[in-house]
Amino acid sequence: MYEDKTLICKDCGKEFIFTAGEQEFYASKNFENEPLRCKSCRIARKNNARNSRETFTGICAACGGEAVVPFKPRDDSRPIYCSECFAKMKEKQN
């Protein structure tokens, strides 16, 4: 039913294969558009988006240390936690 297709990457201009299996997966998810980027450009774009997120600092409600969070802490909001305290809280919940 599906056959491998050769596509051109929008970012690097190189050819890449859109395999029959990938096409079948896209169809099962009702995706209408073919991929525009090769795998390495998709990964690079994803990593770049992650690294460019703005972070804010605040005081951890559990240990009093510095907490780096992806949102601007407000005085009237819920407490914030550093990575270590947050991980400990998650462990206790599971």
Percent of the chain exceeding pLDDT 90 equals: 56
pTM over 0.75: no
DSSP run (H or E) holding 58: strand 56-59
CB distance 79 to 61 below 8 Å: yes
What tokens does 15 get? 């050819």
Which residue do the tokens 């079948």 mark? Answer: 24
Report which of 18, 47, 15, 54 is spatially closest to residue 35, judged by C-alpha positions: 18
Is 94's pLDDT higher than 80?
Answer: no
17-60 pLDDT tens trace: 999 999 999 999 999 999 999 999 999 988 887 767 788 888 99
Place of tokens 């690294």: 51
88, 81 in Cβ contact below 8 A?
A: no
